[in-house]
Structure 1
């Protein structure tokens, strides 16, 4: 029986590049090569696509993050240039082998080869991966892919737009405000005064379109609010400011399926720090994950029900 050829797209230009590498390593590790032919499609931080001659193997995002922070990236892997064709074609991916020297003469020459993919697993985290852009490319190429559609990905990535849909489906939301870069630039003091008046303290400040808690800070007074806003503006031109919940618990719930989605057992994250920020997620070993979460049956059912409602509110598919 012919194996299904699966392209795994990973890496990318976002701030979550290293997290994507770890996720891809886990996927390659779990794919049964008796049934599937995995093809690595790596996007570097500059946005260039390449096909490495070996799969990523480091499944710890923390290890990869530390390596890049210490300017000690993983061993360089031999790879060839690649282009994913933005149109339906039997040759989904083109590889390019360049040769600039032939018999001592300087020339521009390249050998181009093409091959097909049966399905794609897009595992680029953050911008240009989870926000609908990569899904749009796959739609243009008419390639089946795992996960949410263009619209669903874009909605889920933008926290402010996701809240609009959640509210329309009756999901409970904390009090919040959305701030645009234009409004803030025109009247910084006015925006801060409005936030204090309508939300008070403490609050969380978040870039609207980032994952992994990138750029998220907690503010407890005017000084920390200014600092939190300055941090978040580094990652987006639209911010979400939310009232902090008193004595919160971080509960996780996976959803799998399409028209009739199923929910997972609930897990509870006990963060190493005050909240589950980027450092606590990937770099601090003191963070804990308790499965199943210690909740009553009624609490568990309510959270699972809200997870399905949220999934369907954004018209998600596949998994989330």
Structure 2
């Protein structure tokens, strides 16, 4: 029997297009002898679309529509992707949420799947919500004693009442350079590097376009390194990779549009540095009660100090994204990684079924 796999992609988020890239890659990598794929597209308006509604206009060539006429592949998709009894609403065996950003990566969809009692890939409600909110994440890491850069945060209403006080607090607490970010977005959307008051003012305005809460972090002189974490209660780590931006910092354009970034895998670090990064990554994973997958991002200073930057509970997941590339270098191919994540989802779901729900 094939595993009935639901693929959730798109989403009502500024990271909608990133999700489409992920969905295309995963569908093309899945073994159709093992999986019966049920694509479910969430439009930017919030509408959920599935089944025959996603097919292209050519009857004899089933192309999966992503949005606005873009197709997921120019290759004909066989009928196994769209089972003959699609209308029967067969219960899915497992769901893979290929969603990035709010309304997908932040615990909202995870909560829905919990209510439906369907196994799903990735982090649960709590880890997803806290991992999405950079302020809450950093507050928890501070409580856990995890070394990280200094930060301050603001909500829009307080900033509107006294913007001058906010700017002054940043300058006195963090200084320049600093980074201004929406608290609840990923993929470097809405992020600015600030070197003076003028750029700080512009950065606040930009970040508040994407969120009612923003975070400002001190600039750290150090290498940007990342490690991938895989597992549930006993997580494992990949090799470490290094990001070498050719621009001022690793922004959205460098990540997804012009590829103007160097990725070094594995990074040239010592065994002691690797162990330190791995240990903090696992500590961070457990502090948020994560499951399935996480990409942990760090700064590595000239003195060998490891500073936690953030974790991403649904990292970029195309074959050319850092998370899959780190595991590729560690001996797990992209298609194998997808299947491993599905196995972990089922394992975690079965563990949850042991909980007593009646008294």
After TM superposition, the score normalised by the length of structure 1 is 0.81
1:19 is aligned to 18
1:50 is aligned to 49
How far residue 75 of structure 1 moved from its aligned partner, in angstroms, is 4.9
1:28 is aligned to 27
Instruction: Judge conservation of contact 2:63–2:71 (CA < 8 Å) in 1.
Output: no
Runs of 4+ in 1 over 4 A off after TM superposition: 54-58
Change in CA separation of 1:149 and 1:305 when aligned onto 2, cut-off 3 Å? same
Q: Which moved more, 1:164-173 or 1:150-159?
A: 164-173
- What do the CA deviations read for 1:169-214 (whole angstroms, capped 9, x no partner)? 2111111101111210111111111111111111100000001010
Paired residues for 1:124-203 under 5 Å = 124-203=99-178
Higher relative contact order (Cα pairs below 8 Å, separated by 6+ residues): 2
Whether 1:249 aligns to 2:223 is yes
1:221 is aligned to 196
How far residue 284 of structure 1 moved from its aligned partner, in angstroms, is 1.8
Distance 2:63 2:37 in 1: 9
Whether 1:271 aligns to 2:245 is yes
Distance 1:234 1:56 in 2: 32
Distance 1:249 1:57 in 2: 40
Distance 1:15 1:200 in 2: 29
Distance 2:37 2:63 in 1: 9
Change in CA separation of 1:318 and 1:11 when aligned onto 2, cut-off 3 Å? same
How far residue 76 of structure 1 moved from its aligned partner, in angstroms, is 9.8
Distance 1:252 1:55 in 2: 36
Distance 1:18 1:271 in 2: 22
Equivalent position SS for 1:134: helix
CA RMSD, aligned part only?
2.1
- What do the CA deviations read for 1:50-90 (whole angstroms, capped 9, x no partner)? 122357699xxxxxxxxx9xxx862599xxxxxxxxxxxxx
1:292 is aligned to 266
Distance 1:223 1:180 in 2: 20
Equivalent position SS for 1:126: coil
Flag structure 1 segments of 5+ consecutive residues without an equivalent. 59-67, 78-93, 96-111
Change in CA separation of 1:259 and 1:132 when aligned onto 2, cut-off 3 Å? same
Equivalent position SS for 2:206: helix
Change in CA separation of 1:294 and 1:237 when aligned onto 2, cut-off 3 Å? same
Whether 1:205 aligns to 2:180 is yes
Change in CA separation of 1:76 and 1:292 when aligned onto 2, cut-off 3 Å? closer
Distance 1:205 1:55 in 2: 41
How far residue 47 of structure 1 moved from its aligned partner, in angstroms, is 1.0
2:211 is aligned to 236
- What do the CA deviations read for 1:204-255 (whole angstroms, capped 9, x no partner)? 0000000101000011111000001011000001110010002x22211110
Equivalent position SS for 1:266: strand
Instruction: Pick the structure with greater CA Rg.
Output: 1
Equivalent position SS for 1:253: strand
Whether 1:74 aligns to 2:70 is yes
Distance 1:56 1:251 in 2: 36
After TM superposition, the score normalised by the length of structure 2 is 0.73
Instruction: Judge conservation of contact 1:202–1:220 (CA < 8 Å) in 2.
Output: yes
Change in CA separation of 1:127 and 1:56 when aligned onto 2, cut-off 3 Å? farther
Flag structure 2 segments of 5+ consecutive residues without an equivalent. 56-61, 74-84, 295-359
How far residue 26 of structure 1 moved from its aligned partner, in angstroms, is 1.6
2:351 is aligned to none
Change in CA separation of 1:16 and 1:169 when aligned onto 2, cut-off 3 Å? same
2:347 is aligned to none
Whether 1:115 aligns to 2:117 is no
